[in-house]
Amino acid sequence: MKKFTGLIGASGLALLIFEAQAQDNSPLQTIYECAEIDDGTERLACYDNAVGRTRQAQEAGEFQTITRQEAEDVQKDAFGFSMPSLPKFRLPSFGNEGDEVKRDDEGDISEVVLVIDRITEDRLGKVFIEFENGQAWRQSDSKRIRVSRKRPPESATIKRGSFGSFLIKLSTGESFKAKREE
């Protein structure tokens, strides 16, 4: 247990150091530093220089600005992936307006409600769901789920479970553990 606690503490410290370095390397940092210059002529020259370098960096593709909504769409579309290298802010994503997102107290996504495009069963009876936003999820437990062809579910709620698992509850009321595939 002590090793586990030490590992968590070391990981947290490394994350804080990484965040501090990322903030120091912000493309806007040089512009912010210009605000500290008292002399108006020097401050203007600093701003002109900093804005020129920032514009060149943006045009070269070194960074990209996105809106808060675009960042939230990326988080929503990434829900269910456990890739530590997946950044929180990437290129804009294209979510559906009918999708719902619920967040926990820290602002992280705790569950999403997505519209089902297609739902099928494989030969082993496992459910495979494709959503309108392009996500695909496959049942990972052995629970038997019956999908009515006459009245298939229209939406599903996906929640975080314990130990990195995810739970899907269909609009028909049935629920099961699942893993995201796409």
Provide the percentage of residues in the chain whose pLDDT is more than 70: 71
Using pLDDT thresholds of 50, 70 and 90, give the confidence band for residue 12.
very low
pTM: 0.51
Q: Are residues 73 and 99 in the same domain?
A: yes
Same domain, yes or no: 42 and 113:
no
Range of the domain at 49: 2-59
Examine the fold and report which residue of 59, 91, 108 is the final residue of a domain before the chain moves on.
59
**CB neighbour burial string for 100-125, b if at least 16 within 10 angstroms, e if fewer:** ebeeeeeeebebbbbbbeebeeeeee
Residue 169: other Cβ atoms inside 10 A? 17
Residue 140: the pLDDT is 92
Give, for 159, the enclosing helix (H) or strand (E): strand 155-160
Rounded to whole angstroms, the Cα distance separating 127 from 120 reads 6
On whether the CB atoms of residues 140 and 177 are closer than 8 A, the answer is yes
Show contacts of 128-131: CB within 8 Å, 24+ apart: 129/156, 129/168, 129/178, 131/156
104 and 166, same structural domain? yes
**Identity of the residue numbered 24:** D
Residues 22 and 110 in one domain: no
Kindly state whether residues 172 and 82 are assigned to the same domain: yes
Residue 136, strand partner residues: 130
For residue 167, the model assigns a pLDDT of 93
135 and 72 in a single domain? The answer is: yes
Instruction: Verify that 130 and 90 share a domain, yes or no.
Output: yes
Of the spans 20-34, 65-79, 81-95, which averages the highest pLDDT? 65-79
Number of domains in the chain: 2
Residues 50 and 72 in one domain: no
